[in-house]
């Protein structure tokens, strides 16, 4: 029976992967956007060699033009250069916040999914209580206690997203732990740690990757929101949320100061979500 199941899995994998990966138009565009953001984060000088903090009062409030593609701000700083260089901070903070959330959720999910019934009950009730609060509210409460700052906002977003991830991971762990091949491994005398490392963790990894991809877009938005409120990065830092906060005073007359940083946030978050949904759909098709 196990051999038949394995052959069926091989056939499904061959059907899914053998025809080659064919992204949709939306996934192709999203991939291109994420590639540009990644290049901007790792090698910003390739796209914008200027200094994002360099001021030029004589050039203040210039509209978008060939000389300044995204215009300039109140200090004459080139907004295009700041948006490109701001990708590093925004993406790094988003990745760190997502990593904190996924890491904590993995611990909670495995403890609840593999622990005794009383531990599962207690952990699940705790996660449900935290999940009942809006995530951004939890982040704000954490910052109230610890104080504002980039580090605090990063940890706050990670902690706020963990309850939602933990519920999904617990469900995936319990589903995998009750599978027939896990029972067969126990009958063969395999130890608990061996089963977790060899079977359960690899099966949960795919779900973790999808969660991380989807969570990255959410984390970028939340971290930028906290910076916009003055609880994360603050002006003149070249961070997208901080740029929004600096430009809101002039939004009525100089729209480009908020439009382009906002566009970068929305495009990055949307692209990560589209890629995550695509991976999720293909994982379900291969299951």
Which pLDDT value is given to residue 6?
Answer: 40
Mean pLDDT of 186-193: 80
Q: Is the pLDDT of residue 144 over 90?
A: no
Which pLDDT value is given to residue 277?
Answer: 87
Say how far apart CA 244 and CA 225 lie, in whole Å.
9
Say how far apart CA 69 and CA 47 lie, in whole Å.
12
Name the phi and psi angles at 72, rounded to 5. Answer: -130, 165
Q: Is the pLDDT of residue 2 over 60?
A: no
- Sequence-distant (6+) residues with CB within 8 A of 57 are 75, 76
Greater pLDDT, 189 or 92: 92
> What is the pLDDT confidence band of residue 287, given thresholds at 50, 70 and 90?
low
Q: Is the pLDDT of residue 261 over 90?
A: yes
- Characterise 149 by phi-psi region: left (phi > 0), alpha (psi -120 to 50), beta (else): left
Kindly list the distances between the CA atom of residue 121 and the CA atoms of 35, 107, 196, 209, in Å, as whole numbers in the listed order.
42, 15, 21, 26
- Tally the residues of the chain: 287
Query: What are the pLDDT digits (tens) for 80-133?
Result: 999 999 999 889 988 999 999 999 999 998 888 888 888 888 888 888 888 888
Query: What are the pLDDT digits (tens) for 12-64?
Result: 443 344 445 688 898 999 999 999 999 999 999 999 998 999 999 999 999 99
Q: What token pair was written down for 3?
A: 């051999």
């Amino acid at each position: 029976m196990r051999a038949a199941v394995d052959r069926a899995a091989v056939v499904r994998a061959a059907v899914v992967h053998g025809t080659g990966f064919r992204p949709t138009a939306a996934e192709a565009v999203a991939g291109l956007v994420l590639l540009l953001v990644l290049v901007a984060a790792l090698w910003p000088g390739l796209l914008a060699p200027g200094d994002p903090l360099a001021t030029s009062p004589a050039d203040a409030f210039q509209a978008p033009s060939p000389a300044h593609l995204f215009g300039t701000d109140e200090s004459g700083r080139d907004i295009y250069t700041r948006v490109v260089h701001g990708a590093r901070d925004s993406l790094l903070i988003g990745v760190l916040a997502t990593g904190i959330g996924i890491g904590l959720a993995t611990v909670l999910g495995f403890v609840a999914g593999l622990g005794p019934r009383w531990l599962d009950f207690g952990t699940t009730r705790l996660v449900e209580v935290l999940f009942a609060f809006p995530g951004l509210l939890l982040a704000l409460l954490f910052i109230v206690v610890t104080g504002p700052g980039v580090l605090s906002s990063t940890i706050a977003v990670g902690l706020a997203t963990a309850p939602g991830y933990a519920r999904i991971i617990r469900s995936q762990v319990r589903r995998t732990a009750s599978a027939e091949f896990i029972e067969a491994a126990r009958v063969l005398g395999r130890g608990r740690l061996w089963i977790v490392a060899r079977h359960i963790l690899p099966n949960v990894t795919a779900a973790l990757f999808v969660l991380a991809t989807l969570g990255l877009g959410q984390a970028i938005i939340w971290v930028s929101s906290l910076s916009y409120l003055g609880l994360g990065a603050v002006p003149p830092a070249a961070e997208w949320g901080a740029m929004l906060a600096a430009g809101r005073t002039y939004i009525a007359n100089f729209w480009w100061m908020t439009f382009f940083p906002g566009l970068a946030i929305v495009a990055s978050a949307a692209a990560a979500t589209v890629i995550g949904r695509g991976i999720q759909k293909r994982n379900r098709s291969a299951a």
